Amino acid sequence: MMPQLVSVRVSNGRGRRVRLWIPILPVLLILSPVLLLALVAAAVACLIWRVNLVRALGAGWGLLCALRGTRIEIEQSRTAVLVNIR
């Protein structure tokens, strides 16, 4: 199943926190023209390098679905960023 929500939390050392919840489906719908261009570019690249387009798209979809449950934590000095894909 494709991830549904990305939550991003940014906090600095002074106690200020910012939390964002980003729903994936509306973002994909808004960016669909860009995604169509990327799909055409990927198809051309597959033809140039003689890669099976269907298998490449299947691998990309599998990678997208495998992102569910990923948690990325980044800390630098007093700033911390947490990205959680649900």
- For residue 15, pLDDT over 90 is answered with no
Mean pLDDT on 27-47: 96
Provide, rounded to the nearest whole percent, the portion of the chain with pLDDT above 70: 100
Query: What is the Cα–Cα distance from 64 to 28, expressed in whole angstroms?
Result: 12
Model pLDDT, residue 56: 96
Per residue in 41-61, pLDDT tens? 999 999 999 999 999 999 999
Model pLDDT, residue 16: 87
Query: What is the Cα–Cα distance from 25 to 58, expressed in whole angstroms?
Result: 19
Q: Which distant-in-sequence residues (6+ apart) come within 8 Å of 74 by Cβ?
A: 80, 81, 82
Q: Which distant-in-sequence residues (6+ apart) come within 8 Å of 45 by Cβ?
A: 51
Mean pLDDT on 64-72: 95
What ranges make up the beta strands (E) of the chain? 5-11, 17-23, 71-76, 79-85
- For residue 28, pLDDT over 90 is answered with yes
Query: What is the Cα–Cα distance from 61 to 12, expressed in whole angstroms?
Result: 35
Of 32 and 15, the one with more pLDDT: 32
